[in-house]
Structures are given as C-alpha cells and as structure tokens.
Amino acid sequence: MFGLNALHSTKLNLKWAGIFWLLNAFLMTAIAFRFWQWITIPTGDVRSLVYLLATQYGLFGAFCVLALAIQCLLCFLPPRLFRAAGILMAFFLSTLLVVDTLVYAQYRFHLNGVVLEMVFQGRDIIDLSWYTWLVGGCIGLVLLAVQCLFSALTTGIPSLSRLRKPAYGLMAVSILVSQGLHVWDDANYKTQIPSYTRQFPLYYPLTAKDRLMKWGWVDPSAALDKENSLHVASDGVLHYPLQAIQYQKPAQQPNILFILIDAWRYDDANAQVTPNVSRFAQQALRFHQHRSGGNATEPGIFSLFYSLPDTYWLSVRNSGQRPVLMQTLADQGYEFAIHGSASLNHPPFDRTVFSHIDDLKISNSARTPALRDQEITDDFKQFIDKRDPSRPFFGFLFYDAAHGYDLPPNPVTPFKPYWERVDHIKLNNDFDPTPYHNLYRDALYYDDGLIGQVLMKLQQAGLDKNTLVIITSDHGEEFNDHKKNYWGHGSNYSDVQIHVPMFMRLPDGQSGDIDRRTTHFDVAPTLMATVAGVTTPISDYSVGQNMLNPSAPPSRDMIVGSYYNYAVVSPDLINVVYPGGIFETLTPELNPTKQRLLQGDRLKNIISLMSRFNR
C-alpha cells in the first residue's frame, strides 16, 4: 500500500512539474522581451524577427526544461515539499533574469563574474541605495507571488495539462528553427542574425562552417575571404618585452607622480569643477584629444602602465609580470609610494601593475570613498616627509569619490540641485541627469581639493621643480549623453566613456596645448624615453609612441578594452568585437552603420598589435 501511495505521489509530482515549468517558460520568455528595446530589426526583415522569437522561446524554454529535469530528481518528496522546492527554484531563476535585464539596460552586457564581484565586494565598488533595495524587494515579492499563483493554477486547473504537448513541441521546433537559421547565416558570413547572440544571456548558438563546406553547401573561396576577422586569441604565452630593456640611466632623474581620479570625463576638467587641477594645467602640457585604453578601470589602468591592449590582460594576470615601466624604474632605484582609495586587489593590480612592491597597502581603513580619498592623501603627505631623499620616487594616487558619487560629512556642494543618494533603478532614457551629474561634479570638486593639498605639499617640500606630475583618469563617465540609456562606464566606446583629461607637468616647466590624438598607450614609452633613458625600440615593449614627439600621426586606430569585449576605435567609427569574433560597426554617436572600419593594411596592423607580444 505504501509503495502504491509513493508511486501515485511521484506521478502527481511529475505532472505538476511539467505544467509548472511550462508556465515559467512563458513567464521568462515574456520577461526577456525587456531586451528588445536594445534590438534593431531591419525594416521588412522577417527572418530576423522569426529568429529572435524562436530563439527567445527556445532558449528560456530550455532553461525551464533543465530546471524541470533537476527538480525531477526530487520527485520522491511529498507533494507539498516538492512544490515548495519548485517555487523556490523558479523564483530564483526569474529573479535572476529580471536582474539581468536591469544590468543589460544600463551596461549592455549580461550578469557575469565581474558584476557579481562588484556587488559582493561591497561599498568599495558599488553602493546600492535603500530605495534600490526597496524596489528590488517589491519586484521579488511580485515574482514570488506569481510563482505561488502558477503552483495554484497547476493544481487547480487540470485542463492546463492539455498545453504540455503542443507547448513543448513548439519549444523543440523553435530551437531547431533558431539554430538552423544561425548555422546557415554564420556559415555564409551573414552578420545580421549572428549579431543578436549577445542580446541573450548564456546563449551559445550552433555553428557548422567546416561541415557545410565539406558538404559543398558553402563556397570555400568566399569563406576564406571572410575569414579575415578581428578575433585574435590572447591566451598564448606572453612575450613581453620582445627583448631586454636597454637604457642609459640619466645622472639626474626626476620624481614621477601619477594622480588619477576614477571615472573622470574630459569636459568636467575645468575651472568650475576642478579649480586646483585647472591652475596646475596652466603650467603643464594639456593633451586635449587624449583617450584611455579602456572604458573601465582594469583596461584603463592596464593600458596606462603596460602600454598594451586589454586583449593581453589575461596573459599578464596569469603570469603576474609587472609592467616594463615599473620594472625599469625599480632597476634604476626608484622608491614607490602606491596609494589607491579602492582596494588594489579588485582588479588584481597588486599581482600585476604593482607586483613586487614592498609593503604595498592594498586597502584602507576608512569606510567610504570620500574618507578613503582623504586617507590616501594623508598617507602620501606622510610619505613625502619620511621618504629617502637620496632616491627618486614614483608616486601613484587613485581617487574614488567621483566614481562612488560620494561626499564627505558636511560637504561643499557648488553644483545644485544634486542627488543626496544614488538610485540606479530610477535611471532610464527619459530621466533628467542634472541632479545625478551635479552629485558627480560635487565629488570631483571634493577630490580636486585633495589634489590641491598634494600639489601644495610638493611645493612646500621643494619637490615641485623636480617632479614629473601626470593628472588623468582611467576612463570617462556617461550620463545618457547619446540618449540610448547608457549610464556610467564600461558599456560602450563613445567619447564620453574613453575621452579623459591628461595633464603632464615636466620639470623643465614646458607647457602648452596639444591637440593631436594621444592615448594611454603613449604614457609608458614617453616616460621610458624621457625619464629612464631607454634606448630599446618602443615597438619592443609597447603599442604606443612618445607623446612628446611632435611628428606623431594626428589620428590612429586604437584598441580599447572593456569587461568582456573590446573595440577598435578611430575618430569616425567604432568597431566592437564580441566573444566569438562577432562584431558590429557604430558611428561615434553609437548608431549602427554598414561602413567597414578596417580593411587591408589597417586590419593587418590591428591584428599585429593584438598578437605581437604572444609567443
């Protein structure tokens, strides 16, 4: 008798699960339509519309089928416990999908390890307001209520079981249609349908170029012509530099001080927002067309110190090799003073850029970005008092208040109105950015005051005439400038996210405006040549050039990195390359264009830059 009851319960559980997860497939497919606001379908392109609909139902239906299979392993449980487990699983998956749509709306990439690390590393990286948590909690309650409703409908309306066969059958047909269209278009190098791959989370469509060539369904000569792509793997053994660095050490070497404000856009470097820096800039070289090598911290700092594209980041991170600039300065006896407001181990700069530095301070004791900025300022001033005067020093200050939109207690706030707290969930394409941007400007104004303290300390110590000072940023910051609902950074390669201030004060007092295009890749070779006396050809350790060279070309194609993709950026076009080699070409205003960015020698040069330092 007990065995019959157990068998009956198992059958009820399986029947319930089949209908319950089918309803969730409908729910997740509906939620995923939030991605469509960022999808462009050419007018009259029925194939793309069919592909997107089939992919969406097939993909999220497959997620639910996988969840169904996992829950079936628990079919021996009593019905109430079994259903509770299903409700919790479905609640988790649907919540995760909603969060992913929110992340994608702001950054145009899906949930990944970088995003999760930013959340779990706490306020050093991202600080969510109580309002954001409140709205998130309400959304969670709604999703939980929907799951409970699905469970009740599944048990209370037996006729729903009639949906199982046609709905699951349509799911299978959708998968076949979407994968068939993708296989064919990918093999024939039609880019429209493959370009939609990045719109869906955890979506890895099928490809079959070689097999279709073997069967004679694809023209091999046309395929070989198209094979000239921008996708270059960078997981080989690092060969950096290409030869040992040779130098003639100058008899007198200046100190070097890097001062960076995280997420500082170019047009907010002015006398109103950053008055101390603006006064400093009048005595310095002012590079008006300077671009970072990344739209986020890791690629921005990486390009500044290594003078390499971000496609080499994984190789460098895995090897732990320090930049040739830092190695050369260490060999020449420089003393290091490295002070980052946010932790230096996320990204792992402690194991890359600043590796092999004794007594490196990885984190600070203050709890907020603004207070940490004051802490690193005080630490650096103490270093100036206690340093070894017989050695030149290399200093690095990395301020975080603007990145964190954070102000100290009782702040000076010249820009009004401003947000007293950041509510990311309020950001949308119609939101007025003024109060948000003003809070950012107020934070910049605060950091500018701290930088003024540092510059004054150098002057009081008599070091200002013998210290090369660079003031810049790792990347820019966007406030929906192009009306495409982009906020912050790390989401596109427009100028507002990569155009950064760059001021360089040389010990000889040289000043002036430089309007030719320069990049972060140029900083290290400039210092290697002018400060360290390096005679090794720049191309042996860098993709940049000496930014003080007046004969440098006015514009160049540059490789700019981000969290998970990269772009080749020129003054008039942006070519974004996604994992797997899928790419799209955009105008500087982020509008799609069919114009091809790179051909012939320009393409060969870019591929060379991405492969030169791999063995």
Q: What pLDDT, in 10s, does the model give residues 471-507?
A: 999 999 999 999 999 999 999 999 999 999 999 999 9
Beta carbons within 10 angstroms of residue 245's beta carbon: 17
Residue 244 maps to a domain: no
CB-count exposure of residue 177 (10 Å: 0-12, 13-18, 19+): middle
Whether residue 239 lies inside any domain: the answer is: no
Same domain, 175 and 72: yes
For residue 505, give the CATH number of its domain: 3.40.720.10
pLDDT > 90? residue 116: no
Same domain, 216 and 278: no
Is residue 352 in a domain?
Answer: yes
Q: Are residues 374 and 444 in the same domain?
A: yes
**Where do the H-state alpha helices sit in 461-594?**
495-498, 523-530
Residue 214 belongs to a domain: yes
- pLDDT given at position 235: 47
Claim to verify: residue 216 and residue 281 sit in the same structural domain: no
Express each pLDDT in 329-339 by its tens digit: 999 999 999 99
**H/E segment holding residue 339:** strand 335-340
Q: Where residue 237 falls among pLDDT bands split at 50, 70, 90?
A: low
> How many distinct structural domains can be found in the chain?
2
Among 528, 552, 576, the domain-final residue is: 552
Quote the pLDDT of residue 602.
77
206: tokens are: 């099928």
- Does residue 195 sit in the same domain as residue 129? yes
Mean pLDDT value across residues 541-562:
89
pLDDT digits (tens, 9 = 90+) for 124-145: 445 667 677 787 888 889 999 9
User: pLDDT tens, 139-194?
Assistant: 889 999 999 999 998 887 877 888 888 999 999 999 999 999 999 888 876 778 88
- Residues 78, 145, single domain; the answer is yes
Average pLDDT over residues 32-59: 92
Indicate the pLDDT class of residue 122, thresholds 50, 70 and 90: very low
Residue 605 lies in a domain: no
Q: Which of 58-62, 116-120, 376-380 has the lowest mean pLDDT?
A: 116-120
Cα(274)–Cα(441) distance, rounded to whole angstroms?
9
CA-angle at 603, arms to 204 and 195, nearest 5°: 25
pLDDT in tens, 310-320: 989 988 887 88
> Is residue 606 over pLDDT 60?
yes
pLDDT at 608 over 90: no
Q: Are 344 and 124 in contact (CB under 8 A)?
A: no
Answer yes or no: is 563 within a domain. Answer: no
Per-residue model confidence (pLDDT) at position 496: 98
Find the domain containing 475 and state its range.
255-552
Given pLDDT bands bounded at 50, 70 and 90, which one contains residue 5? Answer: low
- Each residue's pLDDT tens digit, 386-422: 999 999 999 999 999 999 999 999 999 999 999 988 8
Q: Are residues 215 and 310 part of one domain?
A: no
159 Cβ partners below 8 Å, 6+ apart? none
Give yes or no: residues 220 and 327 share one domain.
Answer: no
pLDDT at 351: 87
Question: What's the average model confidence in pLDDT over 529-558?
Answer: 91
Contact 493, 567 (CB under 8 A): yes
Above 90 in pLDDT, residue 232?
no
**Mean pLDDT over all residues of the chain?**
89
**Cα-only R_g, the chain:** 28
- Whether 364 and 486 map to the same domain: the answer is yes
Stretch 584-590: mean pLDDT:
93
Is position 246 within any domain?
Answer: no
State the pLDDT confidence band at 240, using cuts at 50, 70 and 90: very high
What pLDDT sits at residue 191? 72
For position 64, what pLDDT does the model report?
Answer: 96
The band of 4, judged by pLDDT with boundaries at 50, 70 and 90, is: low
| pLDDT recorded at residue 196 | 86
- Quote the pLDDT of residue 464: 94
| pLDDT given at position 603 | 76
pLDDT of 556 > 50? The answer is yes
611 belongs to a structural domain: no
E strands present in 563-612: 566-569, 574-577, 583-586
Say yes or no to pLDDT of 118 above 80. Answer: no
335 and 189, same structural domain? Answer: no
Q: Answer for the pair 489, 296: CB distance below 8 angstroms, yes or no.
A: yes
Residue-level pLDDT at 249: 94
User: Do 172 and 308 lie in a common domain?
Assistant: no
For the segment 565-582, what is each residue's pLDDT rounded down to a tens digit? 899 999 999 999 887 667
Mark whether 176 and 261 lie in a shared domain.
no
pLDDT for res 221? 54
Write out the DSSP string of 244-275: ---B---SS--EEEEEEETT--GGG-STTT-H
Residue type for position 21: W
Nearest CA among 495, 373, 498, 346 for reference residue 443: 373
* Range in 65-69, 278-282, 313-317, 540-544 with the lowest mean pLDDT: 313-317
